[in-house]
């Protein structure tokens, strides 16, 4: 694939910042792809962004010795107090993927940290994408009604103004 060759040429040329930009764009538009996470984690390690590298290397499910410090730093930072903090750092494609879609290593480690299927359902329910949110709330209808009344008022005022102008000119 052309994009993969382009990313590899950026890495080989030492243009890690450019490889990072391309990979982040791919991750934002892709599903849950562990290979992309490992590659981005590697690039971030080369850029000495250890914390973010740890996140993507953790999600990749690949456990190489050179990745262990970054992964431990990431887990230690976000999972100590509350597992939800860790979960919300994940990209949207990971947050909404079923837990069983995660690599087995990641799935097992998340369960050890206390993030099983039930808490995951609760976390997802709290943060629905905008297009999925319910539009039946009173606030939505109140604002919609105000807009309609405003437009109706403008139309009535315009007609009254034209009638007054007509009376002035013709009488």
Domain boundaries defined on the chain: 2-129, 137-171
Which token pair is 145? 């009604």
| pTM, two decimal places | 0.68
Q: How confident is the model at residue 119 (pLDDT cuts 50, 70, 90)?
A: low
DSSP calls for 34-67 = HHHHHHHHHHHHHTT-HHHHHHHHHHHT---GGG
Residues 6+ apart with CB under 8 A from 100: 107
Residue given tokens 């097992």 in the structure block: 108
Domain range 2-129, CATH architecture: Alpha Horseshoe (1.25)
At residue 161, does pLDDT exceed 60? yes
Give start and end residues of each alpha helix (H) in 47-128: 50-60, 68-78, 83-88, 92-95, 104-113, 117-126
Which token pair is 17? 């910042």
Read off the pLDDT of each residue in 19-48 and give the average, rounded to a whole number. 89
Judge contact between 74 and 58, C-beta under 8 A.
Answer: yes
| pLDDT of the residue at 2 | 54
Q: How confident is the model at residue 68 (pLDDT cuts 50, 70, 90)?
A: very high
Closest CA to 24 of 52, 1, 2: 52
């Amino acid at each position: 694939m052309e994009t993969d060759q382009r990313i590899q040429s950026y890495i080989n040329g030492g243009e890690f910042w450019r490889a990072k930009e391309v990979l982040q764009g791919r991750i934002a538009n892709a599903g849950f792809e562990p290979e992309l996470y490992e590659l981005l984690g590697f690039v971030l390690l080369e850029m000495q962004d250890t914390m973010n590298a740890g996140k993507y290397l953790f999600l990749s499910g690949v456990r190489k010795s050179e990745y262990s410090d970054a992964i431990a730093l990431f887990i230690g930072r976000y999972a100590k107090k509350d597992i939800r903090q860790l979960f919300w750092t994940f990209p949207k494609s990971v947050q909404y993927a079923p837990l069983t879609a995660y690599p087995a290593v990641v799935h097992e480690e998340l369960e050890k940290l206390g993030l099983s299927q039930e808490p995951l359902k609760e976390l997802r329910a709290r943060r629905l994408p905008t297009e999925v949110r319910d539009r039946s709330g009173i606030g939505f209808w109140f604002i919609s009604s105000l807009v309609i009344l405003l437009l109706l008022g403008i139309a009535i005022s315009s007609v009254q103004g034209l009638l007054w102008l007509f009376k002035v000119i013709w009488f």
